């Protein structure tokens, strides 16, 4: 039979999977000889059984009974003993800290008899009745699902009747009366009497803590923190120590360093004559922990010694909960403390300098997401700001500007020096100019993988998507929000791309010194110095190269400053927007070979100049250029708009020709239609024009003494024959001009991954397009599914995080591994990279390292994140560059 219960003397800090963080650390402190109340832990395995089967495992009750009897022998009294009761707390404790998300019940064992014994033994009748009313209140709320405000209203009424403001001003008779009131609340709202049998209290509390794992707030927290849903929580049964015995007792929390800044010092709060939940609930104002030195110097000095011992033992910032009972200090919990991103970086190398950890461990202690938080501008104090609504934080940062509703207007106002926020129901490629001009983007539709979100992240623009409470009327140039608020063009908005908050008016923005550091600013403060030390060591250790997704010279130059080692994806279709759209229309409407040739000839010098700017910015580094990928109809006017124009007699001859072309090119599912390599096969001269522009740009720069390294990437290949046709033409053009370039393909279809061995015969490199590979593997339309049902899928645990945010390792990841293995079996020197959004996702970077890729590519602003995570991945697998 499995062992489901462990005494604190039987565990240690390395058993978090089984005992949860709280139980493992209580055991560790016990082993260190610190003053920990005795107790035992019921494992998370028992919780998982309870959640799956609706009942506790066979034998658990008997095992708990044995450990409870041992605790009673150690304490010299029985649970709920009438004349001298043993009281216990029942506390949750999952593997990962989830502060406040699950339940705790204190003072288990009190009833109408034992409350008198507690009063007599303690000599403090007020304390006994206060403890009893706390039990009924916590038990009623936690175990019996009674609304907590009912109990709070009752104690507020008692204080009001007595004319006092604080709980400490209520006496024994007041609490005795409250016990009766609380019992009435239980009877009325739970349909039963408050249970007075101590063992029944404990059993019900244990089951309630198990059940709290799936409470809505716990589910939401796990989803936010990406904590797996199947872990379950352990339960800790701990002998009660009392901070509410009088003014020589109290409870507090302490941190061994400032969790906000990382500075060393004495940080925490203390509350006299109180139990632990009083500090969290804020029922009375706490005092700074330093005040404890005057209140109880002996306990204060002992606490400082313990704090130092714990930090040195855990080699990290520790978060501590303690209680003082009549001058005796007891440790109730410790854990590696949560901290801000800035504190994480500072503390990492403080501990290196103290000799507690090495540089590898320092890099392990920080994350790419923490670095991202430090890089984006952010709002300062929002306490006085007027929040309009909340959408989905799609691209981090803080942006303030005047509301505009069209890309044209965004460009106009930005050209006049105005900061603008572009409001759209959803964005399209036509909005690119406006998105570039805007300080931030706000949409009422879409999610984190919508066009607005993907493009905004690529540009480092702040973006909030899916603000569904906004009704955006582009024609009227206004948006209607909750509370009958109307936003007109020119009204100032502030948007937070991290939280998704949208504010009316201007909120002050704080610049990021970390971005200035990556941009080359030599001025350094303590935080920037810590970031620099982390990044330097991560770069030394990483095996994966990091490239950028960049489509113009400016982005390429920025990416290089951020540490990019080349470009992994240059999307040439972005070069066909704006004023150049007319040339694409001419190409589509061409009726003869000469017309088509003329249109291509007009585009070629523009393409060549684009490529030269990018090659110059990345001189000496590889630049992977993807030939045009999206369906051509995306460069034409909207079908509905043209149809209405023609039907109402407002169309020109060109409009009618455009309508005919749009109808001819219209597809039911363009994502799987005429795009990618299929365009190069079907439309003569299109890919040839692009290859010639690449080759001529390369030749001209070489002649000028520069060192361009072009890589030509063919998109959406599903069969080696497609690649062979395009490669043959590209090779001929390169030879004519006298330059060399690698020719490879994107692996973004399941068939391409499964036939990678064949495709590698014609490809010199693979770049995994994980955005489309995820779509085609799952059968998802990225633009539709997130708003349609992803929320429900996340809620049900079908997946823990969107597969467009973090790579689906089991499905898409398996295809990647197959392609890597079979591609390199055919061509051992095959270069392998990834250029989808996943290239900047921390968790996905670790997978790509493990899968054996040579590089990841991501948006310029995610490059430092990818560099850091590549270093962490190498350290974790004990590899060096």
- The per-residue pLDDT for range 634-670, each reduced to its tens digit, is 776 777 777 887 888 777 777 777 787 777 777 777 7
Residue 521 pLDDT class (50, 70, 90 cuts)? confident
DSSP class of 79: B
Residue 442 pLDDT class (50, 70, 90 cuts)? very high
Q: What are the angstrom distances between the C-alpha of 413 and each of 249, 408, 472?
A: 64, 9, 20
Q: Are 778 and 790 in contact (CB under 8 A)?
A: no
Q: What is the pLDDT of residue 253?
A: 85
Would you say residue 873 has pLDDT above 80? yes
Beta bridge partners of residue 379, listed in sequence order: 509
Q: How far apart are the first and last CA of the chain?
A: 47
* Tens-place pLDDT, residues 176-186: 999 999 999 99
Residue 283 pLDDT class (50, 70, 90 cuts)? low
The whole-angstrom separation of Cα 668 and Cα 639 is 13
Examine the residue annotation and report whether 709 is marked as an active-site residue of this protein: no
Would you say residue 31 has pLDDT above 70? yes
Would you say residue 208 has pLDDT above 80? yes
Q: What are the angstrom distances between the C-alpha of 517 and each of 116, 312, 870?
A: 66, 32, 20
Would you say residue 802 has pLDDT above 60? yes
Residue 444 neighbours by CB distance under 10 Å: 21
Among the options 47, 465, 570, 835, which is catalytic?
835
DSSP class of 573: G
Helices (H), 191-317: 198-212, 216-225, 276-281, 292-295, 297-314
* Tens-place pLDDT, residues 759-773: 999 999 999 999 999
The overall average pLDDT reported for the chain is 90
Which of 129-133, 426-430, 569-573, 813-817 has the lowest average pLDDT? 426-430
Residue (of 85, 77, 78) closest to 127 by Cα position: 85
Would you say residue 99 has pLDDT above 70? no
Q: What is the pLDDT of residue 452?
A: 75
Would you say residue 447 has pLDDT above 70? no
Please list, in sequence order, all residues whose beta carbon lies within 8 angstroms of the beta carbon of residue 816, skipping any fewer than 6 positions away: 747, 753, 768, 770, 773, 807, 834, 847, 848, 851
Would you say residue 132 has pLDDT above 80? yes
Which of 142-151, 220-229, 517-526, 722-731 has the lowest average pLDDT? 220-229
Secondary structure (3-state) at 18: helix
Examine the residue annotation and report whether 835 is marked as an active-site residue of this protein: yes
* Tens-place pLDDT, residues 324-348: 999 999 999 999 987 878 889 999 9
Phi-psi region of 505 (alpha: psi -120 to 50; beta: other; left: phi over 0): left
Dihedral sign of CA atoms 546, 549, 553, 557 in order: negative
Residue (of 516, 738, 709, 562) closest to 625 by Cα position: 709
Among the options 49, 451, 537, 633, which is catalytic?
451
Q: What is the pLDDT of residue 881?
A: 45
Q: Are strands 742-747 and 765-768 parallel, antiparallel or unpaired?
A: parallel
The whole-angstrom separation of Cα 744 and Cα 713 is 5
Instruction: Find the length of the chain.
Output: 881
The CA radius of gyration of the chain, in Å to the nearest whole number, is 32
> Whole-model pTM?
0.78
Average pLDDT over residues 822-842: 95
Q: What is the pLDDT of residue 665?
A: 73
């Amino acid at each position: 039979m499995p062992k489901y219960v462990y005494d604190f003397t039987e565990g240690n800090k390395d058993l978090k999977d089984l005992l949860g963080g709280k139980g493992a650390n209580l055991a560790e402190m016990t082993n260190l000889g610190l003053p920990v109340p005795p107790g035992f832990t019921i494992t998370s395995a028992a919780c998982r059984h309870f959640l799956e089967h609706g009942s506790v495992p066979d034998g658990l009750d008997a095992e708990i009974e044995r450990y409870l009897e041992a605790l009673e022998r150690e304490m010299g009294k029985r649970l709920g003993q009438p004349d001298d009761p043993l009281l216990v707390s029942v506390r949750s404790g999952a593997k990962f800290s989830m502060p406040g998300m699950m339940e705790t019940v204190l003072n288990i064992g009190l009833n109408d008899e034992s409350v008198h014994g507690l009063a007599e033994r303690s000599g403090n009748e007020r304390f006994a009745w206060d403890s009893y009313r706390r039990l009924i209140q916590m038990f009623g709320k936690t175990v019996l699902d009674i609304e907590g405000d009912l109990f709070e209203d009752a104690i507020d009424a008692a204080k009001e009747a007595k004319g006092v403001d604080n709980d400490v001003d209520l006496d024994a008779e007041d609490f005795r009366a409250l016990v009766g009131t609380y019992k009435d609340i239980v009877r009325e709202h739970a349909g039963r009497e408050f249970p007075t049998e101590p063992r029944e209290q404990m059993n019900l509390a244990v089951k309630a803590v198990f059940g709290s794992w799936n409470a809505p707030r716990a589910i939401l927290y796990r989803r936010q923190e990406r904590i797996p849903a199947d872990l379950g929580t352990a339960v800790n049964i701990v002998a009660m120590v009392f901070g509410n015995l009088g003014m020589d007792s109290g409870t507090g929390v302490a941190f061994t360093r400032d969790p906000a800044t990382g500075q060393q010092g004495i940080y925490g709060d203390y509350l006299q004559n109180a139990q632990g939940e009083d500090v969290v609930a804020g029922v009375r104002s706490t005092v700074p922990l330093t005040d404890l030195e005057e209140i109880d110097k002996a306990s204060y000095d002992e606490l400082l010694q313990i704090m130092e011992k714990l930090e040195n033992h855990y080699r990290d910032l520790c978060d501590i909960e303690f209680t003082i009972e009549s001058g005796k200090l007891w440790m109730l919990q410790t854990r590696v403390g949560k901290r801000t991103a800035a504190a994480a970086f500072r503390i990492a190398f403080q501990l290196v300098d103290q000799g507690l950890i090495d540089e590898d461990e320092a890099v392990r202690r920080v994350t790419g997401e923490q670095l991202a938080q430090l890089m984006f501008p952010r709002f300062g104090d929002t306490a006085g700001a007027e929040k309009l609504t909340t959408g989905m934080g799609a691209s981090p940062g803080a942006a303030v500007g005047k509301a505009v509703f069209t890309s044209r207007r965004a460009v106009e106002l930005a050209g006049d020096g105005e900061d603008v926020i572009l409001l759209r129901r959803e964005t399209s490629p036509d909005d690119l100019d406006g998105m570039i001009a805007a300080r931030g983007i706000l949409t009422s539709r879409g999610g984190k993988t919508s066009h607005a979100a993907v493009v905004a992240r690529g540009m480092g623009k702040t973006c909030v998507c899916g603000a569904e409470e906004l009704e955006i009327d582009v024609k009227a140039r206004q948006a209607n929000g909750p509370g009958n608020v109307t936003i007109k063009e020119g009204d100032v908005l502030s948007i937070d791309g991290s939280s998704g908050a949208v504010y009316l008016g201007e909120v002050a923005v704080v610049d990021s010194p970390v971005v200035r550091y990556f941009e080359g600013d030599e001025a350094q403060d303590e935080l920037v110095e810590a970031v620099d030390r982390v990044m330097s060591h991560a770069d030394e250790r990483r095996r994966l190269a990091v490239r950028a997704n960049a489509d113009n010279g400016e982005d390429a130059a920025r990416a290089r400053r951020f540490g990019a080692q080349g470009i992994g994806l240059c999307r040439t279709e972005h070069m066909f927007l704006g004023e150049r759209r007319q040339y694409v229309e001419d190409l589509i409407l061409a009726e003869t070979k000469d017309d088509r040739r003329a249109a291509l000839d007009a585009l070629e010098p523009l393409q060549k100049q684009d490529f030269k700017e990018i090659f110059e910015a990345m001189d000496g580094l590889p630049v992977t250029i993807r030939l045009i990928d999206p369906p051509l109809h995306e460069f034409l006017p909207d079908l509905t708009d043209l149809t209405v124009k023609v039907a109402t007699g407002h169309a020109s001859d060109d409009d009618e020709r455009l309508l005919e072309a749009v109808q001819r090119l219209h597809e039911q599912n363009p994502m799987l239609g005429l795009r990618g390599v299929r365009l190069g096969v079907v439309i003569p001269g299109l890919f040839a024009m692009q290859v010639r522009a690449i080759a001529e740009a390369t030749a001209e720069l070489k002649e000028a003494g520069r060192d361009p390294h072009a890589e030509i990437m063919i998109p959406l290949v599903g069969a080696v024959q497609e690649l062979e046709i395009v490669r043959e033409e590209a090779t001929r053009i390169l030879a004519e001009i006298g330059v060399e370039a690698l020719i490879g393909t994107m692996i973004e279809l399941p068939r391409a991954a499964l036939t990678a061995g064949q495709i590698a015969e014609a490809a010199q490199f693979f770049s995994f397009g994980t955005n489309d590979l995820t779509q085609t593997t799952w059968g998802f339309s990225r633009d539709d599914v997130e708003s349609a049902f992803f929320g429900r899928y996340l809620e049900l645990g079908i997946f823990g995080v969107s597969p467009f945010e973090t790579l689906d390792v089991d499905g898409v990841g398996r295809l990647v591994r197959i392609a890597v293995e079979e591609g390199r079996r055919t061509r051992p020197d095959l270069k392998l990279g990834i250029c989808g959004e996943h290239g900047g996702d921390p968790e996905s970077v670790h997978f790509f390292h493990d899968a054996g890729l040579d590089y990841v590519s991501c948006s310029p602003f995610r490059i430092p994140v990818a560099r850091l995570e590549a270093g962490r991945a190498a350290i974790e697998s004990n590899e060096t560059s």
